Amino acid sequence: MRVGTCLVGVLLSIPGAVWAQSEDAAAPKVVTVEVMGGWGVQLGETEYLPDGAPTDFQHPFVSGWSAGATAGWLFARDLALIATYEYRTASSVEGSVTGVIDRVQGSVMYHTAVLGLRLYRDLGPGRLRADMGVGVAFPFETETEYDWGDGLAPAGISGSGTRTDEYAIGFGVAGQVGYEVDVGGPVFIGLGIELRAFQSNNNDEQTRLDNVVTDLTAVPPVAVDATIDYGDGQAQPSTYAVADLGFRLAVGARF
């Protein structure tokens, strides 16, 4: 009788032990959410801003701020699936052409969404983390602003001009390395260095010119108001790469 009672007790305890192991296995699977901001530089064309003369150019040094959010699911002890959204804006330094262009400056604003993996490694009071993913840059525009100089006044050109180039959705990759530390409860802070690159094109998009001199060497120069359509025979479409290297500060929590 005692033997039978013991066997029953053992059998009843097995499901409880299995369930406890299942709970332990599920424990590392946590949800992570974080918001982030940062500053970085664009790694695009190296020379397009005039530097004192129509044939002299300078490095544009395009820089700006970004903001975004990341959601993640830790499906293994050191590995998480993450999804990231970011909004970025950047502008170049100013260029000029003596007597012709008082100021010329380029800018870009765009949104990206990336899906990837994050690897963790415990180190010191916190943990190292490395991200890698693929994603999209949603349709965006680049804009170049001109302030015309007094030298163009005899040709009837004055004030400001704007060139706006439209680009379609782009595809690319993103990676980040960083370090995070818990600061109390579920909250943590992280700091990272990120590199992203997306390539798009202007097929079926437009370039809009508003009081823009397209050829400074023409005699006399002419300011143009026009819309150029790509992909319908008016102009040959071209590709454009949006790439940047930046620092990111994140504040997040685990649940």
**Boundaries of every domain in the chain:** 19-254
Indicate yes or no: pTM above 0.75. yes
In 43-78, DSSP assigns E strands to 49-52, 57-58, 63-76
CATH number of 19-254: 2.40.160.20
Judged by DSSP in three states, 242 sits in strand
Tens of each residue's pLDDT in the chain, 255 residues:
454 444 334 333 434 443 344 444 445 458 999 999 999 998 866 566 777 776 777 777 899 999 999 999 999 989 999 999 999 999 998 999 888 999 999 999 999 999 999 999 999 999 999 999 999 999 999 999 999 999 999 999 999 999 999 999 999 999 999 999 999 989 999 999 999 999 999 999 999 999 999 888 888 999 999 999 997 767 888 888 889 999 999 999 999
Q: Which two tokens stand for residue 30?
A: 């946590």
Judged by DSSP in three states, 244 sits in strand
The upper half-sphere exposure of residue 4, i.e. CA atoms within 13 Å in the direction of its Cβ, equals 1
